[in-house]
Structure 1
Amino acid sequence: MKNNVQLITYIDRLTGEGTQSLTNLLNEQLTGLFSGVHLLPFYYPIDGSDAGFDPIDHTQVDSRLGDWNDIKELGEEHELMADLIVNHMSAQSKEFKDVLKKGSKSVYWDLFLTKEKVFPNGLSDAEQAKIYRPRPGSCFTKSSLPNNESANFWTTFTDNQIDIDVTSAIGKEYLARILKTFSENNIKIIRLDAAGYALKKAGTSCFMLDETFDFIDQLTDVANKLGIETLVEIHSYYQTQIEIAKRVDRVYDFALPPLILHSIFTQNFTALAKWLHISPRNCITVLDTHDGIGIIDVGPMNGKAGLLDNIEIDNLVEKIHLNSTNESKQATGAAASNVDLYQVNCTYYDALGQSDFDYLIARAIQFFSPGVPQVYYAGLLAEPNDMALLSKTNVGRDINRPYLDIDRIEKALNKPFTKAIIILIKLRNETEAFNGEFTVNSNNSLLEMKWQKNENNATLIVDLADRQAQIEITENNSTRIISLNMLLNMS
């Protein structure tokens, strides 16, 4: 993976059209900005109950977007990342429909996980209480089978997402077949979606077990042999993230987004600086994604202190609600059919009260943090909360999943913020110092982040008290200073 800025996007929601339109956009209006693209689910269908994360056929490109040849062409110029949805598949798939029709006699019976497979002697209340689920309600869905029989299928997320038995021969073959298809079509990196939930074991939390690491290792080995890198997507306690990072190729730095917000809200960088001293270096950094802004990643857990305490987290969430004029509250928690208990649904731009300066500071901090930065398509264009889409779908996360077209993109590219972030992206891509060593220092409202490689260095200095921020770059015995305040005014 190149150490350059990457884009995260849905194909249809950014362009309003298919893969060829995205290729054209990247080669024209966005030329030279992104070395890689994380293509959010483009499998059949893209408009299931979970925006493509409930594939009927994981190896089929939705025909509305094109076909594998279009994906392969896009991958000629950009490193492509795709989601390997390891934990589940659609209840509408031919495989699960065959199970409902034939029961245990189906050739696909062993592909799916039931409560009875994990708890053959029954599930006690104590065992039930230990199971970790990020969503309210039961993690099982009872389905009728032939001969008046039934089975409780494991559905970690929704009743349309049936969990796969990844330990079975057919489960392993299913995942291997997807990886082979990816490798044949220029997919260079896979994001292991919901990998932490893939292994279940009686008497445990059924989340990030020791056996889960073995599963990830085995899957990574298969992928690596096909020329594919792996990225693990896990929301968890921050010290757990540090341990996970030691055992995998790459992880997300999900603690960064809420810590940056907390720093700007409180004008205090102490918590952020603490994290940057110990954060994994083999990470992908984000501010926003297709999901909400994670909170569990910085909070306390099981009596252990977090990067923020409960009061600080409550204040953080309430400030997001206030800045977004309570739009985020309409999309978070029990509102709007929300399914994630540990995330706030809101654009990062609205979380910062649509302040271009604060948002540019946030992006600059992200780009200077250890790891490879990814920028979400709505965040690139400083899109506000899409309340119309939220009202239409009543899906909380749609508040930050807008459908755009080329006219709207053209207008957004002329925003002062968008022009400024494009300058920052080019700076991050072209400055050699970012391939060197990282240091960070802070004093309450003052933050200094520095990268140095030989005689080349790049330093970000942010003073929240004076509302000033600048970047100093030294290359070839010459120093230049870039003021973030001036970047916005120049644009």
Structure 2
Amino acid sequence: MTANWNTLHEKVSHHLQAIYADVQLDRPVGELATQLMKTMRLHEDNDIVSPQSHSNYWDEEDIIMITYGDSVMDGHEKPLFTLNRFLQTYCKNTINKVHILPFFPYSSDDGFSVIDYSSVNESLGEWSDVTRLAEDYGLMFDLVVNHCSARSAWFENFIKGEGPGSDFFFTASPDDDLSQVTRPRVSPLLRETQTNDGTKYVWCTFSHDQVDFDFTNPNVVLAFMEIIRLYIDKGAKIFRLDAVAFLWKIVGTSCINLDQTHEVIRLMRTLIEHVDPGIIIITETNIPNRENLTYFGNANEAHAIYNFSLPPLLVNTLVTGDCRYLKSWMMSMPPAQNGTTYFNFIASHDGIGLRPAEGLLDDEEISTLVHTMQNFGGKISWRASAHGQQKPYEINITLFDALQGTTAGPDRWQVDRFICAHAIMLGMEGIPGVYIHSLLGTSNDYEKVANTGQNRSINRKRWDLSELEALLDSPFSQHHKVLTRMSQLIRIRKAQPAFHPNATQFTLQLGNQLFGYWRQSLDRKQSLFCIANITCEEQSVLLTDINLIGTDHWIDLITREEIDGDSGYLQLKPYQTVWISNQDPQ
């Protein structure tokens, strides 16, 4: 409707005025707003959806699986087709959403150095394979928004000085004061590049094959809105904004989390939600916890933020047998208001990030954690600190191997400890994300590290489908055991209203060897106590400490055992988790 169009146009113009307040534009803001709305096909003569603020477009049944398009391969067909077959066979009634990591043509970083945003990597399949997956699963697409490949047509045009992309990239001078710039890598920030217009120094936050965009050019925003519209047409229901914290650069600043970055996200949110209010934006901001929380905005930026502090804190908890740091962090986390939620994960295609643990774990704790992971076969990735020192940035290891033991060394509790970690994560406030290699209990892939020379390859195994099926069908394999127990946990979780991502959550005080929290459904009918023994010794729970209401009937949803609140104590085996509920959906 025209009235809605005018209102939206005014809102988009307001975003643009805030973004480009200090930039001399080559066109009026109103004209740019019209171009953006036209790109998103938000026309005056069409009905424009009015999104409802603070609406939750998710519930307890949502589980996102994180996977590469070729994590499972059959030599006789395209990997995206094989992935679909795998999901239909082994993830029935568990997974309903899938994050397919970048499936576009790329030159490095396993997909995050995109050559062409508009096509599917031929080695994986084609758009029809993606849209087929979208028929059964809500798909998360990566929007690699900070940088693209140095082999892209856009960057080639930058070198030539003509054509689309010729003015898309951020440059600086080696003489500029870049001392405050926050770096996630130790490679030189500026890439010396010979162009038809002379030598230029291109900004490269991550690597010299990943050249950063210049969002002060509004044509870059227009190009990305075209990409977003294409992805919506191809079935995207969730957008993951990769490395978005680095999007806006101002020489002389930290060039991270700048106000303009937040405003660009708000602009994207406004345009996307007027196309389809049910599409979710998740920001991938691997930064300290306090900074990460700012990406919720006032429920007008990201719908969800990655809970990056959870993986290092939970792994630390389980290898030390002490939950004090995890508990303190959880108590400090603000409840996500309606219309926003956390995206919980404990393993992904990347490693276990340590920056989000800064201020939560002290240097000695981080050092012990790093040393323990190295003993378990893990690799360490480093970054440069503000003083030029190298600091551990990320632990590269599969979660299954990260939990093979404690600080005392490997032990016999690997599978139980691994399942305990997921039982804690699956019950927490937020939407759970499960990495395919966690679902499969995959171990460190040293051969791939040797082949690629990249530490992160340790956690990016490509399974041959026939080999994997044989292991999953063997009741004695770690892969069968893990998939069976993980699937059981997920199915139970999906049936509990108290596990709605926005259901009430309180942290329980049960000492440092037991980690627990209480969840209550939005209608207040279901109470659920999640309690985990995070040690390799049996622990007792004093039932009066968790205050089970005597008039209710209580049951552990995992073991199916009834819990008598008057019985005094509940004994928990090493790494056992109980989900004690006053309702039994079964």
Inter-partner Cα distance in structure 2 for 1:487 and 1:297: 25
| 8 Å contact kept, 1:264–1:358 | yes
Inter-partner Cα distance in structure 1 for 2:164 and 2:556: 66
* Residue number in structure 2 paired with 1:193: 242
* Residue number in structure 1 paired with 2:97: 36
Higher helix share: 1
The CA deviation at 1:479 is 2.5
* Residue number in structure 1 paired with 2:191: 141
* Residue range with higher mean Cα deviation, 267-276 or 80-89: 267-276
Could you tell me which amino acid in structure 2 is paired with residue 449 of structure 1?
Y
The CA deviation at 1:487 is 11
Structure 1 unaligned residues grouped into runs of 5+: 117-121, 300-305
Q: Is 1:479 matched with 2:555?
A: yes
Inter-partner Cα distance in structure 2 for 1:255 and 1:438: 18
* Residue number in structure 1 paired with 2:354: 295
| 8 Å contact kept, 1:432–1:456 | yes
* Residue number in structure 2 paired with 1:429: 494
Inter-partner Cα distance in structure 2 for 1:65 and 1:76: 18
Inter-partner Cα distance in structure 2 for 1:341 and 1:226: 42
3-state SS of the aligned residue for 1:342? Answer: strand
* Residues 77-103 of structure 1, C-alpha deviations (whole Å, 9 max, x = no match): 111001000011111111211222x23
* Residue number in structure 2 paired with 1:260: 314
| 8 Å contact kept, 1:2–1:35 | no
Inter-partner Cα distance in structure 1 for 2:291 and 2:88: 39
| 8 Å contact kept, 2:158–2:168 | no
* Residue range with higher mean Cα deviation, 191-200 or 415-424: 415-424
Q: Percent identity?
A: 28
Could you tell me which amino acid in structure 1 is paired with residue 328 of structure 2?
K
3-state SS of the aligned residue for 2:71? Answer: helix
Could you tell me which amino acid in structure 1 is paired with residue 170 of structure 2?
L
* Residue number in structure 1 paired with 2:374: 321
Could you tell me which amino acid in structure 1 is paired with residue 194 of structure 2?
S
| 8 Å contact kept, 1:250–1:283 | yes
* Residues 313-351 of structure 1, C-alpha deviations (whole Å, 9 max, x = no match): 1111111112x1xx213x5449xxxx9951111111111
Q: Is 1:110 matched with 2:167?
A: yes
3-state SS of the aligned residue for 1:111? Answer: coil
* Residue number in structure 1 paired with 2:71: 13
Alignment of structure 1 residues 364-443 onto 2, 5 Å: 364-413=423-472, 414=475, 415-435=480-500, 436-442=503-509, 443=511
* Residue number in structure 2 paired with 1:96: 155
Inter-partner Cα distance in structure 1 for 2:493 and 2:265: 31
Could you tell me which amino acid in structure 1 is paired with residue 58 of structure 2?
K
3-state SS of the aligned residue for 1:455? Answer: coil
Inter-partner Cα distance in structure 2 for 1:30 and 1:439: 31
Structure 2 unaligned residues grouped into runs of 5+: 1-56, 384-389, 406-413, 560-571, 577-586
Could you tell me which amino acid in structure 1 is paired with residue 133 of structure 2?
L
The CA deviation at 1:481 is 4.7
| 8 Å contact kept, 1:267–1:464 | yes
Could you tell me which amino acid in structure 1 is paired with residue 309 of structure 2?
A
* Residue number in structure 1 paired with 2:520: 452
Inter-partner Cα distance in structure 1 for 2:393 and 2:575: 35
Inter-partner Cα distance in structure 2 for 1:75 and 1:58: 18
The CA deviation at 1:385 is 0.3
Inter-partner Cα distance in structure 1 for 2:192 and 2:556: 64
Inter-partner Cα distance in structure 1 for 2:271 and 2:156: 29
| 8 Å contact kept, 2:118–2:230 | yes
The CA deviation at 1:106 is 4.2
* Residue number in structure 2 paired with 1:302: none
| 8 Å contact kept, 1:136–1:341 | no
Q: Is 1:132 matched with 2:182?
A: yes
| 8 Å contact kept, 1:134–1:341 | no
Could you tell me which amino acid in structure 2 is paired with residue 13 of structure 1?
S
Q: Is 1:311 matched with 2:364?
A: yes
Inter-partner Cα distance in structure 1 for 2:445 and 2:266: 39
Inter-partner Cα distance in structure 2 for 1:266 and 1:223: 44
Inter-partner Cα distance in structure 2 for 1:449 and 1:63: 46
Could you tell me which amino acid in structure 2 is paired with residue 259 of structure 1?
L
3-state SS of the aligned residue for 2:355? Answer: coil
Could you tell me which amino acid in structure 2 is paired with residue 351 of structure 1?
A
C-alpha spacing 1:70/1:464, structure 2 compared with 1 (3 Å): closer
The CA deviation at 1:424 is 0.6
Q: Which has the larger radius of gyration?
A: 2
Equivalent pairs counted in the alignment come to 462
Root-mean-square deviation over aligned CA pairs: 2.7
Could you tell me which amino acid in structure 1 is paired with residue 306 of structure 2?
Y
| 8 Å contact kept, 1:289–1:376 | yes
| 8 Å contact kept, 2:310–2:346 | yes
| 8 Å contact kept, 1:462–1:468 | no
Could you tell me which of 82, 99, 110 is aligned with 1:51?
110
The CA deviation at 1:364 is 0.7
Normalised TM-score (structure 1): 0.88
Inter-partner Cα distance in structure 2 for 1:424 and 1:161: 39
The CA deviation at 1:224 is 2.1
Inter-partner Cα distance in structure 2 for 1:378 and 1:226: 34
* Residue range with higher mean Cα deviation, 360-369 or 1-10: 1-10
| 8 Å contact kept, 2:492–2:558 | no
* Residue range with higher mean Cα deviation, 452-461 or 226-235: 452-461
| 8 Å contact kept, 1:79–1:187 | yes
3-state SS of the aligned residue for 1:444? Answer: coil
Inter-partner Cα distance in structure 1 for 2:527 and 2:555: 9
Normalised TM-score (structure 2): 0.74
The CA deviation at 1:407 is 2.3
C-alpha spacing 1:294/1:112, structure 2 compared with 1 (3 Å): same
C-alpha spacing 1:44/1:380, structure 2 compared with 1 (3 Å): same
Could you tell me which amino acid in structure 1 is paired with residue 508 of structure 2?
N
| 8 Å contact kept, 1:81–1:187 | yes
* Residue range with higher mean Cα deviation, 174-183 or 232-241: 232-241
Q: Is 1:223 matched with 2:272?
A: yes
